């Protein structure tokens, strides 16, 4: 299961968001149950939430996970770049999950502003994790801008709709074989995580599906197992689908291939 992303070696391929949990204690227990080594936080919402950022940072430090700050809520490249630089100073990390939203209804990324912000942040020494759609052209523009990782959505943020366009995600994986790809947004249940991993994706990032569950701690563990199962299935090689029935027990010949 071990893999490298953003210059760090990780065992877990399950990234976990930190918004919307019933309490800090539930969040702490969910992180532990998930086995995650990467957790995200929206800096803008943290600063406007009334709490002390230092309190949250201490909770993160206690988990031992790597922090991936994000620029959620930004609508322009300038906003996102400014917030990313604040996050680097506050959390002492060059990792940034870059979000630049272009539509308030779908929270779909603005590809032009996203690429502009990615280019500036990459020049500034950030390891940029851009939240993007499954559009191949936009993904290539982000790579040209200096990104080494891509985070295409499965569906709109927080919708729980799963992977709406598996064909596009499959194309991305096939056309960008050497690029770490993380499905981010829209995952609603562990089966969606299995599907993403079986497509050959390197990891998944989940927030609402865990934090909004009746039992977030149990759901975090369910996702942990789903991600592991999906990755093992990908490595083992999922059988090809057939148009017609194929007898599993031969009536002639040898029962085993020798």
DSSP state of 182: E
| The one catalytic residue among 13, 44, 66, 97 | 97
Is 185 part of any known ligand binding site?
Answer: yes
Any idea of the CA torsion for 56, 42, 29, 34, to the nearest 10 degrees?
Answer: -140
- For residue 7, say whether it is annotated as part of any ligand binding site: no
Q: Is 253 exposed, middle or buried (0-12, 13-18, 19+ CB in 10 A)?
A: exposed
Q: Which residue carries 């689908």 as its tokens?
A: 241
Q: If you search the block for the tokens 């930004």, which residue do you land on?
A: 74
Does the annotation list 186 as a binding residue?
A: yes
- What's the CA gap between 142 and 80, in Å, rounded? 15
- The answer to whether 51 is annotated as binding is no
> Is 224 an active-site residue?
no
Backbone angles phi, psi at 2, to 5 degrees: -65, 140
208 is annotated as contributing to ligand binding? yes
Residue ranges for the known binding site for 1-deoxy-D-xylulose 5-phosphate are 158, 185-186, 207-208
Residue ranges for the known binding site are 158, 185-186, 207-208
- Which positions are catalytic? 97
């Amino acid at each position: 299961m071990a893999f490298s992303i953003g210059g760090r070696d990780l065992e877990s391929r399950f990234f976990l968001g930190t918004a919307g949990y019933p309490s800090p204690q539930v969040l702490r227990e969910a992180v532990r149950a998930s086995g995650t080594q990467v957790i995200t936080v929206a800096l803008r919402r943290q600063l406007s939430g009334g709490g002390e950022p230092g309190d949250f940072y201490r909770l993160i430090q206690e988990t031992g996970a790597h922090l991936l700050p994000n620029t959620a809520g930004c609508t322009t490249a300038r906003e996102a770049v400014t917030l990313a630089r604040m996050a680097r100073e506050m959390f002492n990390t060059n990792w940034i999950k870059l979000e630049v939203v272009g539509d308030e209804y779908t929270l779909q990324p603005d590809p032009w502003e996203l690429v502009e912000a990615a280019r500036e942040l990459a020049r500034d020494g950030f390891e940029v994790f851009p939240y993007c759609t499954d559009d191949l052209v936009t993904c290539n523009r982000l790579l040209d801008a200096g990104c080494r990782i891509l985070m295409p959505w499965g569906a709109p943020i927080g919708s729980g709709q799963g992977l709406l366009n598996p064909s596009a995600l499959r194309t991305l994986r096939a056309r960008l074989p050497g690029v770490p790809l993380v499905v981010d947004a829209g995952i609603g249940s562990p089966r969606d995580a299995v599907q993403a991993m079986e497509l050959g994706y390197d990891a998944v990032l989940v927030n609402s599906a865990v934090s909004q569950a009746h039992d977030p701690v149990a759901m975090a563990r369910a996702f942990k197992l789903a991600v592991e199962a999906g990755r093992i299935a990908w490595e083992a090689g999922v059988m090809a689908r057939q148009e017609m029935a194929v007898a599993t027990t031969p009536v002639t010949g040898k029962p085993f291939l020798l």
